[in-house]
Structure 1
Amino acid sequence: MHTPTTTPPMIPTTDPNQEDDSLVSNDFSTALGAFILGLVFLLGVPGNVFIVWSILARIRKHSVTTFLILNLACADGVLMALTIFFVIYLAKQTWIFGNPMCKVLFYLCNTNMYASIFLITLMSVHRFVAVVFPTKVMIYANTRIAKRVVVGMWALVFLMSIPSLVFRNVREDDDEMGRPRWVCAPNHTRPTYVRFQYSFETVSGFILPYAVIITSYVMILKRLRQTQFKRKVRSEKLILAIVVTFGIFWFPYHVINMIQVAAEWYPEDSPTREKLDHIWQSSRAVTSALAFISSCANPVLYTFAGKSYIRQNGFAFMARLLEGTSLDQGTKKGRNPNSESSVGLNNVISNGNRTSPALNGNNTG
């Protein structure tokens, strides 16, 4: 393995007292992170490509939920394609791709984080409108408005991810054996920058969206309990599974963020500071790798949700699972929500039980 001893041109260095916030700060977590990312790449790339293909090639009419799932699969697929760079980084334990790629790759990772949680939030809000305000769903939750909202969301996502583009550079560092190497790590020169970046990530990319999601599902469940049908429909379970899965895999990452922020409030010679620094430095690679898993988990969830269609429809099962999301068009034309044109996901949704006309007829996916 090549270990440079001098600083190459155009690659900035930072002072030796800067925080060691690199993915290769610990040998064990680095090896485990590389293993996890390798599996993520093998599962996530074909899985998300299959979802995109199923929606674009197999589904004639796209509903709001289908459109959101398409965007989520595209975002996750791009992130999965980038994991190969991080696998090489963790395996070699030195950054070989240069400073521009260091900035761009981590910027795209942050973009995916925000895009994923915001798309999941939009799914939850859409379900909230469809269930709680079924008569308003065609006015405020149609695909034309959804496209405008998603375009605005992507613009906001690229803007919010700028800190990861600014506060990251390649620098020379020493590994645990004292050998020199290159790391792609944040270049925070002040404690205030650390507090700002990681607090901003956790609050805007986790806490606030999840507050909206939880509120939406509380209202959905409250509405369902008011009907004579007590069982939750499967579409709610599927989207809820996406929400929970994302939370499980991203929660450790944000906990590490907050531990690092907390450490910055203590003096550098404080024993508490040393303990907190050791925790986040030794855990950063693993928690980051776990966060990547959320982007390859959704194809697995869809497969389990549509397993009853696999034997009958083969590779078209995903389209069969999602085709019922065209109910918004069917409802708009005044079709009977229980007619043949409303099969697909609505059959999956009902779990063998008929739902109320209000919920069934305006269930847009």
Structure 2
Amino acid sequence: MKDLHPSSLLAGLNDTDLEEETPVSNDFSTALGALILSLVFLLGVPGNLFIIWSILARTRQRSVTTILILNLACADGFLMALTIFFIIYLAKQTWIFGPVMCKGLFYLCNSNMYASIFLITLMSVHRLVAVVLPQRVSSMASRKIVRRVIFGMWVLVMVISLPSLVFRDLSTRVDDMNNTFMVCMPNHTQPRRVRFQYALETVAGFILPYAVIITSYVLILRRLRQTKFRRKVRSEKLILAIVVMFGIFWLPYHVINMIQVAAEWYPEHSLKKEMLDRISQSSRAVTSALAFISSCANPILYTFAGKSYIKRNGFAFMAKLFESTLDQIGNKKSRLMGKDNVLIRNVDSSSTPVSTGQNGK
């Protein structure tokens, strides 16, 4: 996955420019990148570990939304733990971990992107089912089915991330002072590989999932307007906030992806290609930084969402927040339907003696 790795925080380089400059060849940029990643590490690792602990140790009732949030925290927390390798890479300005780690670490970075958006998509689809088909939530959201869906999602993530594993290599570079250093960079020898990888990232990792998410929430809002149950529940607000947060961080990255794909359709050294490459190179660093920071943003979001629980519950506030995301819409609608059924049965039972009495007369 090009330029999502921490070295991309330093410079948005095209693959053809490696001989002139590498992401670890600028002292100021490497220092800035190391600083950003250190802050991400300090916020992301403890934050996501706290979410995992809150769900596993303190949450007594786990909704489907909570299980999906647990998987999201595991993915983000694991990615944040890997930043220590990238900080060392920037500090030494050379890759010291070998070719296997070069491919493997960036493959895991790419996997995190897909896992995050797929998990958020599953949250949105589940909320749609809870609103539109509340009577089926219990049967469709059983633990066995949820585990199978999540397992299938992780398998898909591992498969769809393979291009980032294939199109990345470790190579040797020599600077102006004849110092030799190693760089771990994408290796796209043909334009079609660039188009394939980045188009796949944007279509499968952003456009299609967000189309499902937007469709789900349009149907949810339409359904709520048709019913008397219009009260906004906490789980709806929380999931919608996660969706918006992810979009804010990732949209700029995917826009640059598409600019780079468009550049590869033009002939080499053409004015349009040079212009698009220049835009991509100048913007890649900022958009990649935003994308990478997104993995440590959710714990902060959950803290703001659960601030009303902090005084009452202390460190257990996040567990209380997740317990409050139980399928409220489905449960409340089910209770209303249950009350209606009881009322119908009572009316039927009360009308039976009357009918019998009339016949007796």
Contact 2:121 2:212 (C-alpha < 8 Å) held by counterparts: yes
**Aligned 8 A contact 2:107 2:161 in 1:** yes
Partners of 1:211 and 1:360 in 2: how far apart?
34
Q: Cα gap change, 1:317/1:275 in structure 2, threshold over 3 Å: closer, same or farther?
A: same
Question: Residue 171 of structure 2 aligns with which residue?
Answer: 171
Residue 64 of structure 2: aligned partner = 64
How does 1:181-196 map onto structure 2 within 5 Å?
Answer: 181-196=181-196
Give the whole-Å Cα distance in 1 for the aligned partners of 2:182 and 2:245.
34
Alpha-carbon distance between aligned partners in 1 of 2:292 and 2:139, rounded to the nearest angstrom: 36
Q: Does 1:129 align with 2:129?
A: yes
Alignment of structure 1 residues 208-223 onto 2, 5 Å: 208-223=208-223
Q: Check whether the contact 2:52–2:73 (CA below 8 A) recurs between aligned residues.
A: yes
| C-alpha contact 1:173 1:180 (8 A) present in aligned 2 | yes
CA distance, structure 2, for counterparts of residue 149 and residue 78 of structure 1: 21
Aligned to 1:260: 260
Query: Partner letter of residue 184 of structure 1?
Result: C
The CA RMSD over aligned residues, in Å, is 2.8
Query: What is the SS of the residue equivalent to 1:62?
Result: coil
SS of residue in 1 equivalent to 2:281: helix
The SS at the match of 1:265 is coil
Q: Aligned AA for 1:201?
A: E
The residue matched to 2:228 in structure 1 has which SS?
coil
Change (3 A) 1:160 1:262: same
- How far apart, CA to CA, are the structure 2 residues paired with 1:153 and 1:89? 31
CA contact (8 A) 2:15 2:188 kept: no
Deviation at 1:32, TM superposition (A): 4.1
Residue in structure 2 matched with residue 49 of structure 1 by the alignment: 49
Deviation at 1:360, TM superposition (A): 12
Relative to structure 1, the CA distance from residue 17 to residue 54 in structure 2 (aligned partners, 3 Å threshold; closer, same or farther) is: closer
Output the amino acid matched with 1:113: M
Give, in whole Å, the separation in 2 of the partners of 1:38 and 1:238: 27
**Alpha-carbon contact 1:199-1:258 (below 8 Å) kept:** yes
More deviation, 170-179/109-118:
170-179
Displacement of 1:226 in angstroms is: 2.0
Cα distance change of structure 1 residues 274 and 300 upon mapping to structure 2, 3 Å threshold: same
| Aligned counterparts, 1:1-16, within 5 A | none
Give the C-alpha shift of residue 19 in structure 1. Answer: 5.2
The residue that corresponds to 2:35 in the other structure is 35
Residue 107 of structure 1: aligned partner: 107
SS of alignment partner, residue 255 of structure 2: helix
Which has the larger share of helix?
2
What is the TM-score with the length of structure 1 in the denominator? 0.81
246 and 211 in structure 1: CA distance in 2 versus 1, 3 angstrom threshold: same
Alignment of 1:320-359 (within 5 A): 320-326=320-326, 357=335
CA-to-aligned-CA distance 1:226-266 (integer Å, 9 cap, x gap): 23354432221110110111111111211221121111112
Q: Could you tell which deviates more after superposition, 169-178 or 134-143?
A: 169-178
Larger Rg: 2
Alignment length (residue pairs): 323
Is there any run of 5+ residues in structure 1 with no aligned partner, and where? 1-15, 332-336, 339-354
State the percentage of identical aligned residues.
Answer: 72
Q: Measure the CA separation in 1 of the matches of 2:179 and 2:337.
A: 64
In the alignment, is the contact (CA less than 8 A) between 1:79 and 1:108 conserved in 2?
Answer: yes
Work out whether residues 41 and 83 of structure 1, in 8 Å CA contact, stay in contact via their aligned partners in 2. Answer: yes
**Residue 88 of structure 2 corresponds to which residue in structure 1?**
88
Distance in structure 2 (CA, Å) of the matches to 1:137 and 1:173: 57
Is the alpha carbon distance of 1:177 and 1:287 closer, same or farther for their aligned partners in structure 2, counting shifts above 3 Å? farther
Runs of at least 5 residues in structure 2 that lack an aligned partner in the other structure: 1-13, 340-361
- SS, match of residue 324 in structure 2: helix
Secondary structure, aligned partner of 1:269 = coil
1:169 aligned counterpart, secondary structure: strand
> Does residue 143 in structure 1 map to residue 161 in structure 2?
no
Q: 1:26–1:281: 8 Å Cα contact kept in structure 2?
A: no
